[in-house]
Structure 1
């Protein structure tokens, strides 16, 4: 028994270690976010309801069929349902009705309702897909933020390692009397500043990891981490096209636009349904009924007629049609049509607003890509120049031509330039993905 418990504890500990060692890729983060988002679950339920509504609308166009049975026992002066005569005594009777009805014409409301249900299902699908796109983009942005902070941390740590070597060499030169003690203090101050930068970058990595974990609804922040994926700067081929061309293309597939377009079609169907209320309604029906009574007797022999025979003797069929013509209903029909017209105009205005927002977003994204591309290129050139200046300054510092303060300033400029390159790199990658 102890052996089994030990094995179980060992397997649990191994499982915990494996879970802690797991590194999430971007694809895994997006898939997990889509599978565990509460709003997505709610939208999926709305979509299921829309499918049920479509089934209801289809069922309303089909004939209805209902069966009704009444069985009773009566004592005293009672009405015999088979003869419609009063008798005294105890009667056991039963009767059944099978009724079918169908709507022949209702101002095409059933047809419009079915088409509306189909559009509503499509609208819910677009809404769900649009939410999935937004979540995927948010996860990607948060993921890239972690990578950017991690890369900045690595750079800071590498710079600190170089400073530590400079610090050792400077201390030896100071102790041998080659350099003044002020140079050592300056290098020590630079090392302390870089240590603080490392601490700040570690905090940024932790905070960005927590932000992504919260977005994924993962509570184990301490063990959550992402894989060290390499994201190269993609080519900006999309800048070959103008914002107008990109906008026209986006109109053909953007889910938010499709959703707004479908809402216009839904409002138009609601208007058709409202207008259908003012038309006459024609229904057809057919009814088959039969009955049995234990008091029914053969008029010749006086014997009770059997239950099965009575069902055939006492049965009957009725059928017909019913016309309902609306004449006046307190302005409700007319006001319903007016409200439906207003809803159509509101849906069209919302569609125009959605297109306008999309066009503004594309123009802004286009400018962002151009600006971040220039900024990224400029920071790369700046970093190259800062490194050359640093190498020149270091060579002069090594031979004692400049003091430690000037040398630390050159190194700080390189540190800042490298941090700017990293920030602009990932900002540029994300802006291209947005566009």
Structure 2
């Protein structure tokens, strides 16, 4: 029996070990298979999950309900009520029309309706105001989406920049390792000095540091993308390498005025400011309505029952059906209210509405001025990026040619280690500058497309 128990314990331990290895295998496979995403996937995830967009959409839904409610204000209301009670003691019975000292069973039912006929067009202007506020909130949702889109594009291109910097840094590390091996062999046979070997080691250390910095920058940009996508930071993602367009084809000779004239009709920030201005304009008209008389019409149907009710002629106690016929009351009437003195409330409301309208007009103009400034700055940035791209491309070609010449001279002993390392450092810097200039130019071109309302893709 003891032997059997030992076998059972060993079998159980073996099962747990196999289970743990299986789980670890699947976990490792999951970690080795990151989710591949391109710019479109990142944008879709960000737009679908962003909390600021959800908040803007909630505000739009609230404004939509306010708009609906203001439209229903034009319709007559309808209210009904039913009550039943038993009363004790001394009281005047309205239905029986007599003073009662005892108990009474009573019931009442009523149906009433009121319609506002005129109030200085206040309701109509409130409807128009709420409609413009709704359109403003819709534009605000688009504004939040646009701002997020631009941020995602910038972050995505920054991640691609850092990825290419990693590739360039790794190439420089590999080159430095090869040079160090050559220096070590030459030093071992006495062809190179310790200073030459130290220079090679220093160059390798510098390039390894550049690789580490590039890797850290890439990891941070990937983390930024995950946060924009609103996904778990532990989720592994891998950027799909896009086929970048020819940079000569992504730029055109735009002027700031051309871009501004097209953007001003479609840009959500301008639409938001325009709709707010329109809303406050109707707010002024609605406030003026408070200075006018208001006219309403209303009607009511009422019936009541009392256990003490009697016929006024025969003094015979009346039953329920008799009272329903006798006590049925119909009322219809007009209600005219004329504002004579309201402690300056309506006049103050009108003045405040006018001030808010003027402030909205100023805000609208500020939005236009700000857009004009941003667009002209974007056009200048694009021109500067074009020039920087051309100059860094030329610098890269020259630095690469210079490095290859210096390396050949170094291999035959016509150049020292300091000259070789200086040439390689210049080549490294030219490589990094060109990569950054390439993606900066692409981003600046996409910014112009963004303001023109063109589709954003790579």
Structure-2 separation of matches of 1:17 and 1:115: 59
**Is the counterpart of residue 377 in structure 1 residue 390 in structure 2?**
yes
1:229 aligns with 2:241: yes
Task: Using structure 2 for the length normalisation, give the TM-score.
Answer: 0.87
Q: Which residue of 2 aligns with 1:130?
A: 143
**1:322-367 Cα distance to aligned partner (Å, 9 max, x none):** 1001112222222221111111111111111110000000110000
Q: Please show how residues 151-162 of structure 1 align to structure 2 within 5 Å.
A: 151-162=164-175
Contact kept in structure 1, 2:162 and 2:217, CA below 8 Å:
yes
> Could you say what the CA RMSD is over the residues aligned between the two structures, in angstroms?
2.6
**Cα displacement string for residues 178-200 of structure 1 (whole angstroms, at most 9, x for unaligned residues):** 44443333222211211121122
Of 41-50 and 231-240, the range deviating more from structure 2: 231-240
In the TM superposition, structure 1's runs of 4+ consecutive aligned residues that sit over 4 Å from their partners are 6-13, 233-238, 297-304
2:358 alignment counterpart: 345
- Of residues 277-286 and 27-36 in structure 1, the stretch that sits farther from structure 2 once superposed is 27-36
Among 90, 96, 101, the residue aligned to 1:83:
96
The aligned counterpart of 2:115 is 102
2:30 counterpart (18, 32, 40): 18
From the superposition, tell whether residues 11 and 256 of structure 1 become closer, same or farther in structure 2 (CA, over 3 Å): farther
Contact 1:99 1:286 in 2 (8 A): yes
Query: How many corresponding residue pairs?
Result: 433
Q: CA deviation at 1:122?
A: 0.7
CA deviations 1:295-327 (Å, max 9, x no partner) are 334578876433234212210211010100111
Corresponding residue for 1:260? 273
Q: Is the 8 A contact 1:147 1:228 kept in 2?
A: no
The answer to whether the Cα contact below 8 Å between 2:155 and 2:221 also exists between their aligned partners in 1 is: yes
Is contact 1:81–1:291 with CA below 8 Å preserved after alignment? no
After TM superposition, the score normalised by the length of structure 1 is 0.92
Partner SS for 1:277 = helix
Alignment of 1:13-92 (within 5 A): 14=26, 17-18=29-30, 21-92=34-105
Q: 2:332 aligns with which of 319, 323, 329?
A: 319
2:224 is matched with: 211
Distance 1:194 1:261, change over 3 A: same
**Structure 1 partner of 2:156:** 143
Give the 3 Å change call, closer, same or farther, for CA 300–12 of structure 1 in structure 2.
Answer: farther
Partner-residue secondary structure (3-state), 1:323 = strand
Task: Quote how far apart the aligned CAs of 1:371 are.
Answer: 0.3
1:411 aligns with 2:424: yes
Tell me whether 261-270 or 172-181 shows the greater mean CA deviation.
172-181
Q: CA deviation at 1:158?
A: 0.9
Distance 2:44 2:275 in 1: 27
| Stretch of structure 1 that moved more, 110-119 or 88-97 | 88-97
Aligned to 2:6: none
- The aligned runs of 1:381-396 (5 Å cut-off) are 381-396=394-409
Tell me, yes or no, if the aligned pair for 1:393 and 1:407 is still in contact at 8 Å. Answer: yes
Cα distance, 1:202 vs structure 2: 1.8
For 2:371 and 2:28, the matched residues in 1 are separated by 46
Structure 1 unaligned blocks of 5 or more: none
Partner of 1:286: 299
Bigger drift between 163-172 and 230-239 goes to 230-239
**Match for residue 186 of structure 1?**
199
SS at match of 1:98: strand
